[in-house]
Structure 1
Amino acid sequence: MNQLITEQVVVNGHRIASGSHGDGAPVVFLHGTPSSSLIWRNVAPRVAQQGFRTHVFDLLGFGLSERPQDPQVDTSMTAQVKILLAMLDHWGLDRFHLVAHDIGGGIAQRFGIFHPGRLLSLTLIDVVSYDSYPSPRTRLQMEKGLDVLTKMPDDDHRRHFRAWLLSAVHNKARFADGPLETYLDYISGWIGQPSLFQHQVRHYDPIHTLEVADRLSELGQLPVHLIWGADDHWQVIDWAHKLHRAIPGSRLTVLDACGHFAPEDQPEKIAALVLDHIKTARQSAT
């Protein structure tokens, strides 16, 4: 179902699933959790069609990328910055436009603060920030212990995460009839289920964004656009306003009838907003 992935690349000793499409100025997309580059399948092609070279990859431990067995392999947001840097080297990218969702936004915040000269623009969609995560529901689940959750019967596991994923979208029927089972396949089964907790849930620690929270104003040197679903129950709209206040000159667009997985609920609108922001950033730079 994820036709964006066209190659497997070994970076930093790990296999990463990735893909590049179109021609023009580079745009890199970062996904979140429990997700993969699949979430960009209806956004990235629209951007590529307008004269841009789009790049996607599945974070280490996510989607179609390697799920390291060694628990010592760090797949936190902080560690994923190194994977992003390695992928940029693979693609031969110096400066680029970055579009990020959910924990991809945590990675993007760290990247933008520590490598600001690499970014042409930054688009943050329903992202984590400060100590906005894990949600109370997820925190309660984590208190059961990750070992217990790893060994939960597959049917129970899928039932729980089916309901969880459906809470991330406004249009539940369309999501259920479309990509929902693929999302579940990536985080279920004898590989997906333990990998979900080892490589994703284990790192739901706000230290990765709190470490840079007092430096968010530095992102004001870049063209920054915040896009948020009005019905986001995972990262409620208050966080959007807090980020907007913290980043001087940033823009905020709130989408009605849209949940946390905004690229699923309104891909056409997301693509249009991304394109508008990139084109505005290019005009400002000339």
Structure 2
Amino acid sequence: MSFLTDHLVVDGVRLAYRDSGSGEPVVFLHGTPSHSYEWRDVVPHIEAAGHRVVVYDLLGYGLSERPAHRDTSVAGQTDLLGHLLDALGVEEVSLVAHDIGGAVALRFALAHPDRVRRLMIMDAVSYDSWPSPTWRRIIDEELDSHAALPQEEFDALLTRQLTTTVADTSRMSGDVLRAYLAPHTSRLGRTSFFEHQVRHYDARYTQEIAGRLGELTMPVRILWGAEDQWQPLHYAERLRDDIPGAELVVLPEAGHFLMEDAPDRVAREIRDFLAATPVS
């Protein structure tokens, strides 16, 4: 159920990715518990608008490699993004990023401002907004036992979480729900979920850059679901206030996975942002 088309070895690890279209490059970064499938209804619109679009599964996610001894934290993913751009021959890029992908994008933009033309973040983790009390308890007390859950119990746990990511729960059902669960339908997949994703839910990666957000100078737009149960709207407002010139657009009747609740609106916002902020 992936729309990725290729694999590339970057800094010694294999990433599943899609590189299509032509024109100014745009890289999409997904969140958790997710993979690049979340962009399936958005990316084609951006390609059609005349952009080269790169979308990939973060290391340890989706169809990308799940290495036993490699940093898959937000910090590790930030470093890997730079290596991916180098491998693809992309010097400057616009970033469109969701959830933990938003934290990766913010860290990358602060570390390499000369490489980021524009930045759009959606329902991103920030400041002390993560992990949720549920995930914190699992990380602190129950990680090993959860990593050993049988498939049926794991599916029930993740389904409960995923259904809270959308305002319209019917959108997280059937084939769509199965696609989000698909990377974890094996013992390796379930273990990888906790080792490569949950273990690294840690606010220090966003807290340590909170005081530097005022350094960002590229155009920034923040897109947020009004009914996000995971990342409340006041975090979006705080980001808007801390990032110079940042715009905040709030989508009504959309939750944390706003690209599931309102894919056409999300695609339009991205397309308009890219068109409305020309850069030299």
- What is the rounded CA distance, in whole Å, between the counterparts of 1:211 and 1:143 in structure 2? 21
Equivalent position of 1:126 in the other structure: 123
1:75-97 superposed Cα distances (whole Å, 9 cap, x missing partner): 00001112111110121101111
Deviation at 1:178, TM superposition (A): 3.4
TM-score normalized by structure 1?
0.95
Determine which of 149, 152, 164 is the counterpart of 2:161: 164
Deviation at 1:267, TM superposition (A): 1.1
Secondary structure class of the residue paired with 1:89: helix
- What is the rounded CA distance, in whole Å, between the counterparts of 2:158 and 2:58 in structure 1? 20
Equivalent position of 1:138 in the other structure: 135
Amino acid at match of 1:260: H
1:148-198 superposed Cα distances (whole Å, 9 cap, x missing partner): 111112111110111110100112112203311111121342111000110
Equivalent position of 1:100 in the other structure: 97
Q: Which runs of 5+ in 2 are unaligned?
A: none
Secondary structure class of the residue paired with 1:127: coil
Equivalent position of 2:247 in the other structure: 251
Deviation at 1:264, TM superposition (A): 1.3
The 8 Å contact of residues 171 and 260 in structure 2, kept in 1 or not, is answered as no
- What is the rounded CA distance, in whole Å, between the counterparts of 1:226 and 1:13 in structure 2? 33
1:216-260 superposed Cα distances (whole Å, 9 cap, x missing partner): 0112x1100000000100001110011111011100000011000
Deviation at 1:145, TM superposition (A): 2.1
User: How many residues are treated as equivalent by the alignment?
Assistant: 280
Please list every run of at least 4 consecutive aligned residues from structure 1 whose deviation after the TM superposition is greater than 6 angstroms: none
Equivalent position of 1:109 in the other structure: 106
- What is the rounded CA distance, in whole Å, between the counterparts of 1:178 and 1:226 in structure 2? 29
Equivalent position of 2:275 in the other structure: 279
The 8 Å contact of residues 120 and 281 in structure 1, kept in 2 or not, is answered as no
Residues 111-260 of structure 1: matches in 2 within 5 Å? 111-219=108-216, 221-260=217-256
Secondary structure class of the residue paired with 1:55: strand
Segment drifting more, 139-148 vs 240-249: 139-148
Deviation at 1:53, TM superposition (A): 0.7
- What is the rounded CA distance, in whole Å, between the counterparts of 2:16 and 2:125 in structure 1? 24
Residues 55-66 of structure 1: matches in 2 within 5 Å? 55-66=54-65
Residues 4-153 of structure 1: matches in 2 within 5 Å? 5-70=4-69, 73-153=70-150
Secondary structure class of the residue paired with 2:38: helix
- What is the rounded CA distance, in whole Å, between the counterparts of 1:144 and 1:208 in structure 2? 21
- What is the rounded CA distance, in whole Å, between the counterparts of 1:144 and 1:42 in structure 2? 38
TM-score normalized by structure 2?
0.97
Deviation at 1:140, TM superposition (A): 2.6
- What is the rounded CA distance, in whole Å, between the counterparts of 1:161 and 1:88 in structure 2? 32
1:110-161 superposed Cα distances (whole Å, 9 cap, x missing partner): 0010101111100000001111100122223333321111111211111011
- What is the rounded CA distance, in whole Å, between the counterparts of 2:19 and 2:184 in structure 1? 24
Secondary structure class of the residue paired with 1:145: helix
Q: Percent identity?
A: 43
The 8 Å contact of residues 34 and 187 in structure 1, kept in 2 or not, is answered as no
The 8 Å contact of residues 150 and 193 in structure 1, kept in 2 or not, is answered as yes
The 8 Å contact of residues 88 and 94 in structure 1, kept in 2 or not, is answered as yes
* Cα root mean square deviation, aligned: 1.1
The 8 Å contact of residues 59 and 65 in structure 2, kept in 1 or not, is answered as yes
